Amino acid sequence: METMEKLPTKIITTESPKYKLIAENIVASYDGVVAVKNVTMKFRDRAVTALIGPSGCGKTTFLRCLNRMHELTKNAKIEGRVLLDGEDLYTNKQDPIINRRKIGMVFQKPNPFPTMSIYDNVAAGLKLNGLRNKSVIDDIVEGCLKMVYLWDEVKSDLKKPGMSLSGGQQQRLCIARALAIQPEVLLMDEPASALDPIATQKIEEMINELKKEYTIIIVTHNMQQATRVSDYTGFMYLGDLIEFGETKQIFENPRNETTARYVQGQFG
Amino acid sequence: MITVEQRAEFRKHFRYNVGRRLVIDKIVKGVVFGCVILAIVPLGSILVEVITNGSAALSIEFLTQIPGAVGSADAGGIGPAIQGTIVLIGMSSLIGVPVGVMGGIFLSEYGDNRYGRTVRFFNDVLAEFPTIVIGIFAFVMIVLTLGNFSVWAGTFALSIIMLPIITRTTEESLKLVPITYREAAFALGIKRWAVITKIILSQAKNGMVTGILLAVARIAGETAPLIFTILGSSQFMDGFNGPIDALPLRIWRLSSLPYDNAVAQGWGAALVLILMVLSINIGVRYIVLRKKGRGLKLRMRGGAL
Amino acid sequence: MGGKIVSMMRIPLKSGSRFVDKFFKIGAAMAATYVLAIILLIVVNLISGSAPVWQKEGLGFLTGSNWNSEEGRESYGAAPYILGTFVTAGIAMAIGVPISIGIAMFLSELAPKIMRTPLSLIIELLAAVPSVIYGLWGLFVFRLYLKDWVETPLHNMFGDNSVIFAGAPFGLDIFTASVVLAIMIIPTISTISREIMLAVPNSQREAAYMLGATKWEVFRLAVIPYSKSGLIGAAILGLGRAVGETMAVTMLIGNSTGAAAFPTSLFQPGQTMSSIMANEFAEASQAGLHMSALIGIGLILFVVAFGINIVAHLLVARVIKSHEGAVQA
């Protein structure tokens, strides 16, 4: 198993750190169960931040708070602030739809729209957001499919249903769909958990490429994956953020004992 | 790959129109809510009219006496109709309940095969059948054969209407009993029929009773099949081989008479019928909602609505 | 569970000889077969009962419009009633389906949690009200409002020049019957549609939300396409119900016969297959050609309703199956 020798090079070195997204004092619950207890995290622009932790630690719930998706869950409650470029998503008087389009999301299981073609799946968000120019739509669809390395595989079958693709291709299609609306932040909830190793590798390569432009936050239960793709890592346990720092530090030199036990694979 | 410059260019083409889209969203929500109101208003109006017009007619005599002569000042009562409806419900249940329950047992316990699927399919189709067709069928098969309108013919028709509802709800209730109960019992060497009758049925009791009561509520209000089978009568029942009256049939007859006191009686009979039907429905649904949660209610839809 | 096993232990192992077990299974199978037997008997009896009219009229029974039960001049054609059935059911669908989809959308996507259960209950109660009470209410209450508020203004606006609004409205006509039919099929369609919409996986809705969709856009983008064929099935089940509905229609449609029953104006009296059966049954002698004609109409109605229901059930069943398959996606 290739492990930690190949840490990604950091992009931001000289400038003072710029935070794209800041989550402050997030407390989230559903059905009376508190899933996230007072978590504060700052996410740097053009970097990949991984959230790791055993299942049930609240990492997915926390992720869903970042684009106001959590409140769609039944009996969901949330407190705290989420600042995107300094603007609070939760207190601003505008509808959540305005901010969701700035924060794309990829889900654990691929969820293409089953009745739509590959092309229409990618274009769905474009038409929704008022893009009418056919040639621009064509350009974006092609560009996004290229970004997820899907273009060469599907360019002759754009009219085929999205469901005709393999699982890994479907997931990349969903990422292309999320990228098409030109978001600034990309949230990924265990995007590779349902995929085979080859498809996983493609997704990871893609993340390394995408982070040149995007702020990426990825939830994963796979520690090797976190070391391969992320610059920063947060370890969550029982709804708390236990430790947050550079990925190399978290995995090689954890300061917290629970973190140490987790990254050494002693539980989880 | 999309470059940063390209993305900036793309962004210029987006016309988010958030304001307009949110207005459309609000309009749709308003229209959709209006649909709900449109459906509730008739129910409210029916209940108000039946209760206000019907309660004026209610009295002990109204509930127990035979109808007066048509057009006379003394309109009499609807005693035979109430008696007839009760008799028909009882008689139909005697056929519909055991056959329906056994059919449901077959579908749940032995029906995981082609034959079971066929029966299930046609059972669902029969549940949605126009009841007037069942009425004219019972007329050809029973009335024409025996030579007269009778309680038997009405019973036969109504039991066919009950049957698919009970079969369906029984099957669904039995399927809700966890498979572990069956496995545990089989492991003890208990025979299948004993497992079903002594263990599974007692677990599924509530759901089955629910289905039976909904079937009763359904046939209590059926009119069309009775026109062809029991004919209607202004006398109390005179044996199973003769005609009989029933509430829905009486309501129809009264409503078509050009006399005010007959119409007033029609409303009175409607009040009695609606009280019967809705109290069964509300009671059953209340119990289902409290005890069984959504699962059963969802599945009951197939036949019981 | 432990208690269950203990109570099972009390059942003696000898409780079932193989004979009883077999007997029980055969009994259950016979009960299930009863359903199939009934359907078969319906076909056989309706065919034999209507044989005389088919012999006399042939296919003219389906296409003719002459309806005369006078002895010696007997002639029967069911075309106006077949058409009347489809026209009333069609108008009821045109009114009822959009409203039902709206109700289903409200109950599955929009209603606050505490409103959902009571509202669904109220909608389901609409289905429990007996048909004859809809008829009574339509005859003495609803018809008058409909006449004064809808029919008369429409008639005054378009007048006798227009075909479909011709004739002074009286309230006992095709339009009134159709509107009441629409009210009656709303609970069927909306309840099933709601269940079908609730079966759409949330991951589909989330995908649309993620793209920045409003509630309505989520519904349009994720819910409707996913549940389309199920919704069509629900609507067809409603059609089946509208086609077979008898009492309310009989009491409200005004009951014309023969060529006069051809539906032309909305405000003219009409007749459907089920209403002519209910209306004329008492007048027909038990063994005559008139009765045979009514049974023949019953047979046509059977075939129509059977076809509609089979299509509807296949559609709904296929949706449920495809849902099971798509849960992974």
Domain holding B21, by residue range, is 4-57
Residue with tokens 């070195």: A13
Same domain, B12 and B91: no
Beta carbons within 10 angstroms of residue C162's beta carbon: 13
Instruction: Map residue B67 onto helix, strand or coil.
Output: strand
The pLDDT score that the predictor gives to residue B1 is 63
Residue C319 in this model has a pLDDT that exceeds 70: no
Using 50, 70 and 90 to split pLDDT, how confident is the model at C13? low
Distance from CA of B235 to the nearest CA of C (A): 18
Which chain A residues are within 8 Å of C221, Cβ to Cβ?
A: 113, 124, 128
Instruction: For A148-183, give one letter per residue: b (16+ CB within 10 A) or e.
Output: bbbbeebeeebeebbbebeebbbbbbbbbbbbbbbb
Of B281, B104, B125, the closest CA to residue B177 belongs to B104
Choose, out of A127, A182, A186, A211, the residue to mutate when testing the contact with B (most B CBs < 10 Å).
Answer: A182
Same domain, B101 and B14: no
- C residues 57-86 lying closer than 8 A (beta carbon) to B: none
Structural tokens at position C262? 């051809």
Query: What's the average model confidence in pLDDT over B175-187?
Result: 85
Interchain contact, B133 vs C106, CB within 8 Å: no
Q: Where are the alpha helices (DSSP H) in chain A?
A: 59-65, 96-100, 118-128, 134-147, 151-154, 167-180, 197-210, 223-229, 247-252, 257-263
Strand ranges in C136-187 using DSSP code E only, listed in sequence order: none
DSSP annotation of A115: T
Query: What's the average model confidence in pLDDT over C144-157?
Result: 88
Of C240, C243, C264, C256, the closest CA to residue C192 belongs to C240
Interchain contact, C130 vs B222, CB within 8 Å: yes
The alpha-carbon radius of gyration of chain A (Å, integer) is 18
- CB-based burial of residue A143 (10 Å sphere; 0-12 exposed, 13-18 middle, 19+ buried)? buried
Which chain B residues are within 8 Å of A101, Cβ to Cβ?
A: 16
Structure confidence by residue, pLDDT tens digits, B246-279: 999 999 999 998 888 899 999 999 999 999 999 9
Same domain, B183 and B196: yes
Query: What's the average model confidence in pLDDT over A188-200?
Result: 87
Alpha carbon distances (Å) from A255 to A44, A246, B68, B112: 21, 12, 96, 59
Which chain C residues are within 8 Å of B49, Cβ to Cβ?
A: 137, 140-141
Are the CB atoms for A68 and A231 separated by under 8 Å? no
Nearest-by-CA chain B residue for C295: B136
The pLDDT score that the predictor gives to residue C90 is 96
Using 50, 70 and 90 to split pLDDT, how confident is the model at C16? low
Structural tokens at position A34? 């508190």
Same domain, B10 and B136: no
Interchain contact, C99 vs B267, CB within 8 Å: no
B22 touches chain A (CB under 8 A): yes
Using 50, 70 and 90 to split pLDDT, how confident is the model at C318? low
Range scoring the smallest mean pLDDT among A163-177, C13-27, C297-311: C13-27
Could you give the CA distance from residue A99 to residue A66 in angstroms, rounded to a whole number? 10
DSSP annotation of C245: -
Query: What's the average model confidence in pLDDT over C105-129?
Result: 89
Residue C322 in this model has a pLDDT that exceeds 80: no
Q: Give CA C36 to chain center in angstroms.
A: 21
Measured distance between the N- and C-terminal CA atoms of chain B, rounded to whole angstroms: 56
Same domain, B82 and B156: yes
Beta carbons within 10 angstroms of residue C272's beta carbon: 34
Structural tokens at position A76? 């969901």
Domain count, chain B: 2
Could you give the CA distance from residue B172 to residue B289 in angstroms, rounded to a whole number? 16
Interchain contact, C124 vs B285, CB within 8 Å: yes
Using 50, 70 and 90 to split pLDDT, how confident is the model at B6? confident
Q: Which of C113, C212, C328 sits opposite A129 (nearest CB)?
A: C212
A135 touches chain B (CB under 8 A): no
Could you give the CA distance from residue B71 to residue C279 in angstroms, rounded to a whole number? 21
- Average pLDDT score, chain C: 88
Instruction: Map residue A18 onto helix, strand or coil.
Output: coil
Query: What's the average model confidence in pLDDT over B104-123?
Result: 93
Are the CB atoms for B142 and B156 separated by under 8 Å? yes
Structure confidence by residue, pLDDT tens digits, C201-259: 999 999 999 998 999 999 999 999 999 988 999 999 999 999 999 999 999 999 889 88
Which chain C residues are within 8 Å of A177, Cβ to Cβ?
A: 207, 211
Which chain C residues are within 8 Å of B197, Cβ to Cβ?
A: 24
Same domain, B189 and B294: yes
CATH at B147 = 1.10.3720.10
Could you give the CA distance from residue A18 to residue A43 in angstroms, rounded to a whole number? 8
Q: Which of C201, C212, C328 sits opposite A97 (nearest CB)?
A: C212
Nearest-by-CA chain C residue for A125: C211
- CB-based burial of residue C329 (10 Å sphere; 0-12 exposed, 13-18 middle, 19+ buried)? middle
Residue with tokens 């926390």: A62
Same domain, B103 and B188: yes
Greater pLDDT, B196 or A5: B196
Structure confidence by residue, pLDDT tens digits, A17-41: 678 899 999 999 988 888 999 999 9
Residues 6+ apart with CB under 8 A from A142: A151, A155
Which chain A residues are within 8 Å of B19, Cβ to Cβ?
A: none
Same domain, B50 and B137: no
Of B89, B107, B111, the closest CA to residue B303 belongs to B107
C215 touches chain B (CB under 8 A): yes
- The complex's ipTM? 0.89
Could you give the CA distance from residue A49 to residue C204 in angstroms, rounded to a whole number? 26
Distance from CA of A241 to the nearest CA of C (A): 25
Structure confidence by residue, pLDDT tens digits, C86-115: 999 999 999 999 999 999 999 999 988 888
The pLDDT score that the predictor gives to residue B273 is 96
Query: What's the average model confidence in pLDDT over C288-303?
Result: 95
Interchain contact, B6 vs A209, CB within 8 Å: no
Using 50, 70 and 90 to split pLDDT, how confident is the model at A9? very low
Ordered domains of chain C (ranges, CATH) = 67-328 (1.10.3720.10)
Could you give the CA distance from residue C327 to residue C204 in angstroms, rounded to a whole number? 10
Instruction: Map residue C253 onto helix, strand or coil.
Output: coil
Query: What's the average model confidence in pLDDT over B50-56?
Result: 95
C262 touches chain A (CB under 8 A): no
Q: What percent of chain A has pLDDT over 90?
A: 48
Residue B286 in this model has a pLDDT that exceeds 70: yes
Nearest-by-CA chain B residue for C38: B160
Could you give the CA distance from residue A74 to residue A65 in angstroms, rounded to a whole number? 14
Query: What's the average model confidence in pLDDT over C320-324?
Result: 50
The pLDDT score that the predictor gives to residue C7 is 56
Could you give the CA distance from residue B205 to residue B54 in angstroms, rounded to a whole number? 36
Could you give the CA distance from residue B252 to residue A260 in angstroms, rounded to a whole number? 81
Could you give the CA distance from residue C327 to residue C329 in angstroms, rounded to a whole number? 5
Could you give the CA distance from residue C178 to residue A173 in angstroms, rounded to a whole number? 48
Q: Which of A148-157, A205-214, B79-88, B228-237 reaches the highest mean pLDDT?
A: B79-88
Residue with tokens 């039919």: C181
Which chain A residues are within 8 Å of C204, Cβ to Cβ?
A: 111, 113-114
Chain C contact partners (≥3 CB pairs within 8 A): A, B
Which chain B residues are within 8 Å of C98, Cβ to Cβ?
A: 35
Greater pLDDT, B203 or B137: B137
Structure confidence by residue, pLDDT tens digits, C253-295: 998 898 888 888 888 999 999 999 999 998 888 888 999 999 9
DSSP annotation of A164: G
Residues 6+ apart with CB under 8 A from C109: C197, C215, C218, C219, C223
- CB-based burial of residue C258 (10 Å sphere; 0-12 exposed, 13-18 middle, 19+ buried)? middle
* Helix, strand, coil share (%) of chain C residues, nearest 5: 75, 0, 20
Are the CB atoms for A147 and B2 separated by under 8 Å? yes
Are the CB atoms for A244 and A235 separated by under 8 Å? yes
Are the CB atoms for A35 and A239 separated by under 8 Å? yes
- CB-based burial of residue C121 (10 Å sphere; 0-12 exposed, 13-18 middle, 19+ buried)? middle
- A residues 231-260 lying closer than 8 A (beta carbon) to B: none
Degrees, nearest 5: CA angle B286-B287-B288: 95
Largest CA-CA distance found in chain A, in angstroms, rounded:
56
Residue B194 in this model has a pLDDT that exceeds 50: yes
Residue A76 in this model has a pLDDT that exceeds 80: yes
Same domain, B42 and B74: no
Structure confidence by residue, pLDDT tens digits, C45-86: 999 999 999 999 999 999 999 999 888 888 999 999 999 999
Q: What percent of chain C has pLDDT over 90?
A: 60
Bridge partner residues of A219 (DSSP) = A51, A189
Distance from CA of B12 to the nearest CA of A (A): 10
Could you give the CA distance from residue C136 to residue B273 in angstroms, rounded to a whole number? 12
The pLDDT score that the predictor gives to residue B291 is 60
Could you give the CA distance from residue C44 to residue C35 in angstroms, rounded to a whole number? 14
Same domain, B86 and B125: yes
Interchain contact, B10 vs A95, CB within 8 Å: no
Could you give the CA distance from residue A126 to residue A112 in angstroms, rounded to a whole number? 15
Same domain, B185 and B106: yes
Same domain, B51 and B64: no
Choose, out of B3, B10, B16, the residue to mutate when testing the contact with A (most A CBs < 10 Å).
Answer: B10
Beta carbons within 10 angstroms of residue A202's beta carbon: 19
Could you give the CA distance from residue C155 to residue C165 in angstroms, rounded to a whole number? 5
Degrees, nearest 5: CA angle C267-C273-C275: 65
Nearest-by-CA chain B residue for A141: B2
